[in-house]
């Protein structure tokens, strides 16, 4: 059981790294080169990145949520109410924020499937402005992940 928990935690941390890493790269590395790269070059770059992002990002998000849900089964007990202590309150808040991002990703996948059925162009997730709030939520989630053990 202990080994399963630790393995799941390592998988969770790797997925969290990938999740935050891509958000950081998109906002602080790729977006700023927009003006220096030239409009057409930048559009091609975004198109190529988009293909890779579709392959990695949704699957990573699903594993992140799944491993997080498995980990929380060790902590969440509702015998003394929903928010019996700071730890559980923060864990539930962290989980809800993460599920919110998960719902956004599922909506994007659904949109993509509908586009494919209509044979139209793939929506480009790299162009999306949602990264601003997704990354901000990610920072809050990571802070909650640490704070819940400290407060
Ligand atoms: C955007 C999604 C998520 C990110 C970025 C994220 C990030 C993290 C990080 C960085 C830790 C490590 C804390 C430590 O150092 O011990 C952690 C732990 C944890 N996460 Fe997540 N998480 C996410 C989603 C979820 C979800 C959906 C749940 C479940 C509802 C969850 C439940 C947990 C639990 C229970 C731990 C404590 C594990 C432990 O340290 O023993 N996480 N998370």
pLDDT at 84: 93
Mean pLDDT value across the chain: 93
pLDDT band at 103 (very low <50, low <70, confident <90, very high): very high
The region, left, alpha or beta by phi > 0 then psi within -120 to 50, assigned to residue 128 is beta
Q: Which residues line ligand 1 (CB under 6 A)?
A: 9, 12-13, 16, 19, 64-65, 68-69, 71-72, 75, 91, 94-95, 98-99, 101, 138, 141-142, 145-146
Look at ligand 1, atom 13, and give the residue with the nearest C-alpha: 145
pLDDT band at 63 (very low <50, low <70, confident <90, very high): very high
Half-sphere exposure of 99 (CA within 13 A, CB side): 7
Q: What percent of the chain has pLDDT over 70?
A: 100
Average of per-residue pLDDT across 66-73: 97
Measured in Å, residue 44 CA sits from the centre of ligand 1 at: 35
């Amino acid at each position: 059981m202990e080994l399963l928990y630790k393995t799941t935690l390592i998988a969770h941390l790797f997925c969290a790294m990938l999740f935050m890493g891509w958000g950081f790269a998109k906002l602080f590395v790729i977006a700023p080169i927009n003006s220096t790269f030239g409009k057409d070059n930048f559009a091609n770059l975004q198109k190529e990145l988009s293909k890779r992002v579709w392959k990695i990002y949704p699957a990573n998000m699903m594993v992140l949520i799944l491993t997080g849900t498995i980990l929380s089964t060790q902590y969440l007990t509702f015998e003394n109410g929903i928010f019996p202590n700071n730890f559980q309150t923060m864990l539930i808040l962290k989980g809800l924020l993460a599920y919110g991002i998960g719902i956004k990703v599922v909506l994007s996948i659904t949109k993509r499937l509908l586009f494919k059925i209509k044979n139209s162009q793939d929506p480009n997730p790299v162009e999306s402005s949602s990264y601003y709030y997704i990354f901000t939520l990610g920072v809050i989630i990571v802070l909650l992940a640490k704070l819940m053990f400290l407060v």
